Amino acid sequence: MTVTIGRRELLAALGGAAFAGPLAARAQQPGKLPTIGFLGANNATFERASTDAFVQRLRDLGWIENRTVVIEYRWAEGRDERFTEILAEFVRLGVDVILTYTNPAALAAKQATAVIPIVFAGAGDPIGTGLVASLARPGGNITGLSTQQTDLASKRLEILREVLPGLHTLAILADRGSPNSVLEMGEARAAARTLDIAVVTSEVQRAEDIVPAFDALKGRADALYVCNSPTLMTNRIRVNSLALGARLPTMHGTREHTGAGGLMSYGANLPSLFRRAAEYVDKILRGAKPNDLPVEQPTKFDFIINLTTAKILGLEIPPTLLARADEVIE
């Protein structure tokens, strides 16, 4: 019996074969599925929304966990020193791509391997911290998405000024062990100078440094700008409790800080970054090279206000500012 295949069917068959190329290559290795090494800077509970967004977008693209792809999750629990150990494990496992988030984690990944492709779902200043050579041509085996963490410092201070028009002295809390946090501190200091706001800074590197850092700031400032870092993120409840005790309104870069009692936050929407990161991983698993995938800027930002914290501090949030908020916590 002769079977006739039409032109449309033939093109569809050829297209399907091209699409399944990497999967077909894997199929020649019995039991071997493409493997993603997922390096989380914090913990599974904290990063649940971002992880779910990543996995769902992968599914949309045809990568179903434990059926067509394996994801090896590892969590650093806010301890940067764990990155090296986890990444060495990924190299031993021979993962096909490493997905991570935060500058310290991405820098550690870059140092751990020059062969395995790396995608960062968010980095504050990829060029300034040495992650990539340029946004258009990242160079090497790494690419991903910028959170514009440092670029948004001036915007955050403008918002803070709207709540505190009499803001004269700003305290800045940064993690000197995080390159991005240090860069953000510099940007916040420069933005404050432009707005004619005096600055006092306090730096930490470990959780044990946080209480002494607040002791050093006591009575010296009208508000607190908290630079982002895994250490300060993991200890966000402690940071915000101490800030409330010192009667310091706070400004942050992520909604997680505001949910933990911070006054306000303004920054890139993390789940949307992880969804886009899934698209990068998809392309790499299908044969694309990281250097051919430009680093992208965020397109969605979240402005969050914690009204409960404002009331505790006795602050009146302008109605115009409340109207601009993406979320108001009450």
Question: What integer pLDDT is reported at residue 27 of this predicted model?
Answer: 39
Residue 266 predicted with pLDDT over 50: yes
Nearest to 76 by CA among 101, 112, 111, 113: 101
Domains of the chain with bracketed CATH: 7-147+270-300 (3.40.50.2300), 153-268+302-329 (3.40.50.2300)
Question: What integer pLDDT is reported at residue 162 of this predicted model?
Answer: 96
- Per-residue pLDDT tens for 82-119? 999 999 999 999 999 999 998 889 999 999 999 999 99
Residue 28 predicted with pLDDT over 50: no
Task: For residue 165, list its beta bridge partners.
Answer: none
Residue 137 predicted with pLDDT over 50: yes
Locate tokens 């409840």: which residue? 237
Question: What integer pLDDT is reported at residue 32 of this predicted model?
Answer: 85
* 86 compared with 22, residue with greater pLDDT: 86
CA distance 128 to 138: 13
What confidence tier does 40 reach under pLDDT thresholds 50, 70, 90? very high
State both tokens at 102.
Answer: 């935060």
Which strands, in side-by-side order, build the sheet including 97-100?
70-75, 35-40, 97-100, 118-123, 142-146
Residue 303 predicted with pLDDT over 60: yes
Q: Is residue 118 within 8 Å of residue 141, measured between CB atoms?
A: yes
Residue 42 predicted with pLDDT over 90: no
Q: What is the pTM of this model?
A: 0.80
Question: What integer pLDDT is reported at residue 31 of this predicted model?
Answer: 62
Q: Is 201 exposed, middle or buried, given 0-12, 13-18 or 19+ CB atoms closer than 10 A?
A: buried
* 30 compared with 170, residue with greater pLDDT: 170
Which strands, in side-by-side order, build the sheet including 327-329?
198-204, 169-175, 223-226, 250-252, 264-268, 301-306, 327-329
Greatest mean pLDDT among 19-28, 38-47, 91-100 lies in 91-100
Question: What integer pLDDT is reported at residue 230 of this predicted model?
Answer: 81
Residue 18 predicted with pLDDT over 60: no
- Per-residue pLDDT tens for 59-84? 999 999 999 999 999 999 878 889 99
